[in-house]
Structure 1
Amino acid sequence: MNHFTKWAAAAALATAGSAALAEGLFTPNLSYRTGPFAATGIPLMNGQADYMNMLNARDGGIGGVMIDFEECETGYSTEKGVECYEKTKGKAIVTQPWSTGITLQVLPKTNVDEIPILAPGYGFSPMMDGKTFQWAFNTPAGYWDAADMIVQYLEGQGSLDGKKIAFLHLDHPYGKEPLPLLERMAEEKGFELVPIPVGLKEMQNQSAQWLQIRRERPDYVVMWGWGAMNAGAITEAVKTKFPMENMVGVWWAGHDADLKIVGEDGKGYKSISWSFPNLDAPVVADIKTHVVDAGNSKSNEEEMAGVFYNRGIIISAILAEGIRMAQQEFDTGEIDASQLRWGLENIDMTEARISELGLDGMVPPFKTSCADHTGKSGGWMLEWDGEKFVKVSDHLTPNTEAYEALVAEKAAEYAEANAPWPVNDACEM
């Protein structure tokens, strides 16, 4: 029995023998089960909640301390998101903002409040620079990683020199996030990048955008969509007979429900992803036993088979692993926000650890540090086969060295614009 196991056992006995109950680990989620993005928010929130509920039911929480996974509804509104952050920050050990717009608003506050932001696969891309963004984590992969892997995959189909790529994106901080890197890559690799924004009011009627795509005749369409925009774009692509095998989305544009609208007609559509639904993974069986069969899940069988529900599981597993690491390091169950920051900086998701957690095949290995708040997990290219998403690539990893200078440049710009901005000089690269 190792030191941490002995400590956890002792903590459990002490709790059992005491009338005083632990306050719990308060890990609020700024959810969006309502509004124009609810169709994608609901399965993600359900997957997150079910994993935490499973830990509470199966293990008594994490390290003998129950998890308080309260949701604060934002409707994906930046204003409501900031209100939720202010409402929950008092006893929270983490904030999960969910929108890139909310993340950008909360980012400077976390330096003052000293609460880590956990934004898996989203947010401001330079947050990967842990020295500059001490309290922000876009673990296990950021938007620039996604853009790099998409371009890598397209290059695997043939040189991009002289090709044209339409960048169909939500006209929102989220949709604009990869533009600095894509513009540089276009210059370096010789392809023409044609940005095509989709306003929030145009998400379900993109006739103007697809008229432009027909006029431009791009070799590829790269989609940075979200919520209702994805279904609108995929429906228009089918209607205009755009070759679906030449359309690739970011991981938030790979939602099963959007493709089921067009079914077989969507065959060939692709999405990069740092997660994958393995329905035979032990964690899925545990969630069924401890949460679903107990009547404590808001999900359903169809949703639980999809990419987004299972990504929600991975997101909560990442947070839980950060909590475990902090509990072990600081020899306490009820960690604080500062201790969780250390935990999130010391996650080592090896293949062995992924298997121990019952997440086999659901996420690639990754490792964080004080300097690297992303972890460089990479991902897989998924393709819609007419009924579901399947893997059509080996494990892809981003060429982060190619944009390290851009990360440093944009991080320095942000710090200067928000001066005085504390930097973690004690962190060694």
Structure 2
Amino acid sequence: MKTLSRLGLLSAAVAMGALAGLPALAEDSVNVTNLSYRTGPFAATGTPVMNGQRDYMLMLNERDGGVNGVKIVYDECETGYNTEKGAECYEKTKGSSIVTQPWSTGITLQVLPKSNVDKIPILAPGYGFSPMAEGKTFTWAFNPPTTYWDGASMILQNIADGNLDSLKGKKIVLLHLDAPFGKEPIPLMQAYAEKHGFTLLPIPVGLKEMQNQSAQWLQIRRERPDFVVMWGWGAMNAGALTEAAKTKFPMDKFVGIWWSGSDADLKTVGDAGKGYRSISWSFPVSDSKVMQDIKTHVIDKGKSLSAPGEFDYVFYQRGVVISMFAVEAIKAAQAHFDTKVVTPEQLRWGFENLKLDDAYLAEIGFTGMVPPFSTSCANHAGHSGGWMLQWDGAKFVKSSDLLKADEAMIEPLAIAEAKKYAEANAPWPTNEECKM
């Protein structure tokens, strides 16, 4: 098995090789940098996503020569999921990359005010600060295809079988990482609890407790909740699943957000994890055209950093989908501005004008891998919806039709929180020209 240090060396070597092979003229390439985390306590879940992101970009360079004749320079700046290092990586790369991908919610919150000044779009697919979807306030931030609050809404709808009033009198534990990411769903879930009469009990898991959650699960046994919703990442997920299996907590009452649905984590418990569910805005389709092209042009040529079996994983293929978002924004900007090499400002327009319907997703080889959605100047997420995936003992399978969040519940809270953020960080520029 490749060590993390080996992965880092390989990544650097491949990046330098790609740079060396580019044409001499700078205008023939665009730089897309990822603030990655292949080291640290979140590496096990972060690495497959990074590998998928990287392999899609490499495939386009190998198969098509890039995007409309422009090579993609995919680069990484290692953060270890550390907010301070993430801020350093942002400063180091903002002059070269046309987009920043901060990854952790903590790093996203750090770079969010800077993006207005530096005029660099933030791409935070399915993570970050949920009100960033309000494009009139957060002009430079994008969190397609759906937000954490959307995820919380879909989870509650699913466990309530579509009738949230049926949760009245029930108790739901929110087992969450004690970090900005883990606290993200609390305001919305509290609003749902007040409206529908259930009890929400947040139970935090500290960074030093991720692999030993005996205290948290002792509390869960005492509380006897009707459901446990997990907002976990990295080593926390495997730790929670192991404790749930050990204490024989009913797995069909245990549901996670999309970052708590990693194949590698579930393989640690195998059959004991049967019934566990995770909401997801992506789904692995290994025989899709895009995945087969990645296999042909990257995997089979020995150019991937992915581990054996990772190709079929939810997280690896989610990384492919994420890079597709960036590429489609580049394409949209190229067409609109009639240019080959887009600027960060032009790319921002591209992110505001993503139109990924079923027909177009089929055209680019992504059928079934992500729900259709579109963005606008006011809607920076798209609110695509997602599927509930369930572990069958060996892999994740779909256990629901496409679910959609209750935007009538979410939007007023998102607008209020966006306004509160802007007022707390005044003077805060907003897009007054946006009417949609």
TM-score range, shorter chain: over 0.9
SS in 2 for 1:309: helix
CA distance in 2, matches of 1:19, 1:188: 61
Report whether the alignment pairs 1:64 with 2:64: no
In structure 2, which of residues 379, 387, 399 is the aligned counterpart of residue 372 of structure 1?
Answer: 379
Residues 406 and 19 of structure 1: CA distance in aligned 2, closer, same or farther (over 3 Å): closer
State the distance in 2 between where 1:65 and 1:277 align: 28
User: 1:91 and 1:33 mapped to 2: Cα distance?
Assistant: 22
Shift of the alpha carbon at 1:403?
1.6
The CA distance in 1 between the partners of 2:293 and 2:28, in whole Å, is 25
Aligned counterpart, 2:245: 238
Q: How far apart are the structure 1 equivalents of 2:307 and 2:208?
A: 30
Between the aligned partners of 1:154 and 1:314, the Cα distance in structure 2 is 27
1:221 paired with 2:228, answer yes
1:404 Cα deviation after fit: 1.1
In the other structure, the counterpart of 1:118 is 123
Taking structure 1 as reference, are residues 20 and 94 closer, same or farther at Cα in structure 2, changes over 3 Å only?
closer
Three-state SS of the structure 2 residue aligned to 1:286 is: helix
Matched residue type, 2:304:
S
Distance of 1:382 and 1:355 partners within structure 2:
22
Letter in 1 for 2:260: A
Aligned match of 1:105: 110
Deviations 1:34-70 (A, max 9, x none): 0000001110000000000001111111111001111
1:202 aligns with 2:209: yes
The aligned amino acid for 2:215 is: A
The within-5 A match list for 1:153-302 is: 153-156=158-161, 159-302=166-309
Q: Distance in 1 between matches of 2:276 and 2:180?
A: 24
- Give the match for residue 29 of structure 2: 24
Aligned position for 1:52: 57
Deviation of the 1:295 alpha carbon: 1.5
TM-score, with structure 1 as normaliser: 0.95
Q: Distance in 1 between matches of 2:162 and 2:173?
A: 17
> Once the 2 structures are TM-superposed, how far is the Cα of residue 280 of structure 1 from its aligned partner?
1.1
Alignment of 1:293-372 (within 5 A): 293-372=300-379
Asked if 1:128 corresponds to 2:95, the answer is no
- Matched position secondary structure for 2:33: coil
Match status 1:74 vs 2:76: no
Give SS of 1:101's match: helix
The whole-number CA distance in structure 1 between the counterparts of 2:189 and 2:310 is 33
SS of the residue corresponding to residue 103 of structure 1 reads helix
Q: CA deviation at 1:20?
A: 4.0
TM-superposed CA distance for 1:23, in Å, is 4.5
SS at match of 1:383: strand
**Alignment partners' CA distance in 2, 1:77 and 1:19:** 35
| Deviation at residue 22 of structure 1 after TM alignment | 3.2
C-alpha distance in 1 between matches for 2:426 and 2:48: 38
Of 51-60 and 294-303, deviating more is: 294-303
Structure 1 residues 165 and 105, CA, compared in 2 at 3 Å: closer, same or farther? same
Structure 1, gaps ≥5 residues long: 1-17
1:248 is paired with a residue whose SS is: strand
Aligned match for 1:140, one of 133, 145, 156: 145
Aligned partners of 2:393 and 2:172: how far apart in 1? 24
Question: Shift of the alpha carbon at 1:157?
Answer: 7.2
Report how far residue 311 of structure 1 moved: 0.2
**Residues 325 and 20 from structure 1, CA distance in 2 versus in 1: closer, same or farther, beyond 3 angstroms?**
same
Report how far residue 401 of structure 1 moved: 1.7
* 394, 401, 413: which one aligns with 1:387: 394
| SS at 1:22 equivalent | helix
> Shift of residue 292 of structure 1?
1.1
Query: What amino acid sits opposite 1:216 in the alignment?
Result: E
SS at match of 1:28: strand
Count residues with an aligned counterpart.
Answer: 412
In structure 2, what is the equivalent of residue 152 of structure 1? 157
Unmatched 5+ stretches in structure 2:
1-22
| Cα distance in 2, alignment partners of residues 306 and 288 from structure 1 | 14
Deviation, 1:143, is 0.3
> Does the 8 Å CA contact 2:28/2:69 hold for their aligned counterparts?
no
Shift of 1:139: 0.5
User: Does the aligned pair in 1 maintain the 2:171–2:226 contact within 8 Å?
Assistant: yes
Q: What's the counterpart of residue 11 of structure 1?
A: none
TM-score (norm 2): 0.93
Helix, strand or coil: the match of 2:116? helix
Preserved contact between residue 383 and residue 405 of structure 2 (Cα < 8 Å): yes
Shift of residue 190 of structure 1? 0.8
Return the offset for 1:290. Answer: 0.8
Q: Secondary structure at the match of 1:314?
A: helix
Q: Which amino acid aligns with 1:122?
A: Y
Give the whole-Å Cα distance in 2 for the aligned partners of 1:366 and 1:25.
25
Corresponding residue number in structure 1 for 2:90: 85
Tell me by how many angstroms 1:92 deviates.
1.6
Distance in 1 between the 2:405 and 2:330 partners?
Answer: 27
Choose which of 61, 74, 96 in structure 1 pairs with 2:101. 96
Q: Deviations over 1:137-182 (max 9, x none)?
A: 0110110000000001011076101110000000000000010000
CA contact (8 A) 2:150 2:410 kept: no
Give how far 1:86 is off. 0.1
How far 1:301 sits from its partner (Å)? Answer: 3.7
Structure 1 stretches of at least 4 aligned residues deviating more than 6 Å after TM superposition: none
Q: Is 2:416 the counterpart of 1:409?
A: yes
**Which stretch shows the higher mean deviation, 268-277 or 403-412?**
403-412
- What do residues 257-292 of structure 1 show as CA deviations (whole Å, max 9, x unaligned)? 111011000000000000000011011110011111
